A and B are shown apart, each in its own frame.
Chain A
Amino acid sequence: MAMKEKIIEKILLLTAFSSIFILGLITFFIFKEGLPLILKIGIKAFLLGEKWIPSKGLFGVFPMIVSSFWVTFGALLLGIPLGLACAIFLSELIPPSVGLLLRPAIQLLAAIPSVIYGFWGLIVLVPLIQNHFGGPGLSILAGSLVLGFMILPTIITISEDSLKALPPTYKAGALALGATHWQTIWRVLIPAARSGVVASVILGMGRAIGETMAMIMILGNAVKMPTSFLDSARTLTTNIGIEMGYASGDHRQALFATGVVLFFIIMALNTLAISLSRRRVH
């Protein structure tokens, strides 16, 4: 019996480590493939270069970095108010029976494949934007709107959890002082749950920056510095997604280098989110 236990333990240990091992392998691989090119053309030329013309050996990803952040920023503009409002509604205002219906629906939102979001954006949003605002329609605006919806489940679920994790005495205390329900939510509960709400936003941001498929379909993929919400754009992820199929040599390495940049951005966001959510209310 003890022998059997030991074997099971070892197998579990092995599986646990194998996932970390694979993560390490991927990281190593990306860096091994990408770093040489960055060093070859110079960090500055790579990060701040504005021209991406693989046939001429020009690999500047600055427009893509800008586009990535722009699309993400737009998504947050939509996702934060909507997500926070929804989290407040779920944790404070709705009858429990409605919550039973609404919560699975929100989780379903997270389960929809991104290609479906992209398809919907392409069929519905893009023509709408083209007809009402002009431009190509395939644009940062369309991408931001779609991403805004895609990050909702992340923001809603984590914010709601952090609101629900608050001691009930905060709410009772505020109400007993003669605060209205809304004053209680806005002045006590949200500030008290602040670190969780911020973490939810940062995780949503990570999701937005990493999204590829939907963005390939609706951003228009133009490699240029975007100047307005109605411009087509190409993000870091879509750059890799579009070109990886046929790239070779330096070009291929440049795509891995794009991955290195993404890697650092996502790492920074996740670290920030973790440190914020770990911070207790002091």
Chain B
Amino acid sequence: MTESNPPLKMEVRGLHFYYGSNHALKNINIVIRDRQITALIGPSGCGKSTFLRTLNRLNELIPQTRIEGTIRLDGEDIYQPGTDVVALRQRVGMVFQRPNPFPKSIFENVAFGPRVLGVHTKSKIEEKVEQSLKAAALWPEVSDRLHLNALGLTLGQQQRLCIARVLAVQPEVILMDEPCSALDPLATLKIEELMQELKKKYTIVIVTHNMRQAARTSGWTGFFHLGELLEYATTEDIFTRPQNPQTENYVTGRYG
């Protein structure tokens, strides 16, 4: 595991996670590098989505779960007692598997974040909404219908709206949980292009089932299998020189 530059944004040490008695994550050690795209791959049920949700403590919504180990964000353990979870989730945003815009207007969806942060000036909110929609490459498509219901957009547009919604909170890290699995290839391509753009300002962690997507978009890749992180290296190494035979089977498509 090479730990050279670029600098670390998040650092996970000895992470275990349990759903009741089910040991879902076993001793995960991984570093997330600043302003890089880190892809997490692995077969269904391997724990990669569970792991993603430990990074913004969204796993806590599920009752009877337990976590051990440390996750540091800029050196601060996000699980230490007294951590402001609301503030953490503003710093570590998340895009979900299925686009989940609120049943509100396009404008209100993006304005939601700034509003809960306490921004109430109309002009400031409008500015933020426009900025975020532009950054999510959605502005030209919706600028003339901001007040229509977001559920009327195509799935691809809805997903970019969800990204815009996250950007409006000005996070530092963006977690993406199979963001393209509900989308068609063209919409997928748009999101991938967008990720390259976002990489310049944000640290991105993406869970994906799509090998080619991981290969195309990410700089670093981790391979999860049965709750363990079997291999973690640069994406190039994972796909061309995997050290672990299971990784090799998986990335070459021989995995059962």
- Interface of A toward B, CB cutoff 8 Å: 96, 167, 169-180, 183, 187-188, 191-192, 281-282
Contact A175 to B58, CB < 8 A, known contacts A169-B96, A188-B102, A281-B103: yes
Contact A169 to B100, CB < 8 A, known contacts A177-B112, A177-B166, A183-B116: yes
- Indicate which residue in A96, A172, A183 contacts B96 across the interface (CB closer than 8 Å): A172
Residues B103 and A179 in contact, CB atoms below 8 Å apart? no
A187-B116 Cα distance, complex, nearest whole Å: 9
Please tell me if B185 contacts chain A, counting CB pairs below 8 Å: no
Starting from the known contacts A170-B102, A177-B166, 19 additional A-B residue pairs (CB-CB under 8 Å) come to A167-B100, A169-B100, A171-B61, A172-B61, A173-B96, A173-B100, A173-B162, A175-B58, A176-B96, A177-B89, A177-B90, A178-B89, A178-B93, A178-B116, A180-B116, A183-B116, A187-B115, A281-B103, A282-B149
Which of A174, A177, A187, A188 lies at the interface centre, i.e. has the most chain B CB atoms within 10 A of its CB? A177
A191-B101 Cα distance, complex, nearest whole Å: 13
Residues from chain B with a CB closer than 8 A to the CB of A173 are 96, 100-102, 162, 165
Residues from chain A with a CB closer than 8 A to the CB of B96 are 169, 172-173, 176
Which of A96, A171, A281 lies at the interface centre, i.e. has the most chain B CB atoms within 10 A of its CB? A281
Give the residue name and chain of the B residue nearest to A281 (CB).
Answer: B103
Residues from chain A with a CB closer than 8 A to the CB of B101 are 173
A179-B89 Cα distance, complex, nearest whole Å: 8
Residues B98 and A169 in contact, CB atoms below 8 Å apart? yes
Give the residue name and chain of the A residue nearest to B104 (CB).
Answer: A191
Residues B112 and A282 in contact, CB atoms below 8 Å apart? no
Contact A177 to B116, CB < 8 A, known contacts A282-B149, A282-B151: yes
Residues A175 and B89 in contact, CB atoms below 8 Å apart? yes
CB distance from B60 to the nearest CB of A (A): 9
- Indicate which residue in A171, A187, A192, A281 contacts B112 across the interface (CB closer than 8 Å): A187
Residues from chain B with a CB closer than 8 A to the CB of A183 are 116
A176-B165 Cα distance, complex, nearest whole Å: 11
The 8 closest A-B pairs by CB, nearest first: A178-B90, A169-B100, A176-B94, A281-B103, A178-B89, A179-B116, A173-B100, A183-B116
CB distance from A196 to the nearest CB of B (A): 12
Please tell me if B119 contacts chain A, counting CB pairs below 8 Å: no
Which of B101, B103, B104, B152 lies at the interface centre, i.e. has the most chain A CB atoms within 10 A of its CB? B103
A183-B112 Cα distance, complex, nearest whole Å: 10
Listed by A's residue number, 26 A-B pairs whose Cβ atoms lie within 8 Å are A96-B63, A169-B100, A170-B103, A171-B61, A172-B58, A172-B61, A172-B96, A172-B100, A175-B89, A176-B93, A177-B93, A178-B86, A178-B87, A178-B88, A178-B89, A178-B90, A178-B169, A179-B86, A179-B112, A179-B116, A187-B116, A191-B102, A191-B103, A191-B104, A282-B149, A282-B151
A187-B61 Cα distance, complex, nearest whole Å: 18
CB distance from B245 to the nearest CB of A (A): 36
Contact A178 to B162, CB < 8 A, known contacts A170-B100, A172-B61, A282-B152: no
- Indicate which residue in A96, A172, A177, A281 contacts B113 across the interface (CB closer than 8 Å): A177
Residues from chain A with a CB closer than 8 A to the CB of B56 are 176
A170-B101 Cα distance, complex, nearest whole Å: 8
Give the residue name and chain of the B residue nearest to A183 (CB).
Answer: B116
Residues from 90 to 149 in B contacting A, C-beta threshold 8 Å: 90, 93-94, 96, 98, 100-104, 112-113, 115-117, 149
A177-B88 Cα distance, complex, nearest whole Å: 10
A179-B98 Cα distance, complex, nearest whole Å: 20
Residues from chain A with a CB closer than 8 A to the CB of B165 are 173, 177
A187-B117 Cα distance, complex, nearest whole Å: 13
A172-B162 Cα distance, complex, nearest whole Å: 12
Residues from chain A with a CB closer than 8 A to the CB of B61 are 171-172, 175
Give the residue name and chain of the A residue nearest to B152 (CB).
Answer: A282
Give the residue name and chain of the A residue nearest to B114 (CB).
Answer: A177
Give the residue name and chain of the B residue nearest to A193 (CB).
Answer: B103
A180-B116 Cα distance, complex, nearest whole Å: 8
Residues from 162 to 179 in B contacting A, C-beta threshold 8 Å: 162, 165-166, 169
Residues B169 and A177 in contact, CB atoms below 8 Å apart? yes
Residues from chain B with a CB closer than 8 A to the CB of A169 are 96, 98, 100
Residues from chain B with a CB closer than 8 A to the CB of A187 are 112, 115-116
Give the residue name and chain of the B residue nearest to A181 (CB).
Answer: B86
A192-B104 Cα distance, complex, nearest whole Å: 8
Give the residue name and chain of the B residue nearest to A96 (CB).
Answer: B63
Residues from chain A with a CB closer than 8 A to the CB of B98 are 169
Residues A176 and B89 in contact, CB atoms below 8 Å apart? yes
A23-B87 Cα distance, complex, nearest whole Å: 58
Residues from chain A with a CB closer than 8 A to the CB of B89 are 175-178
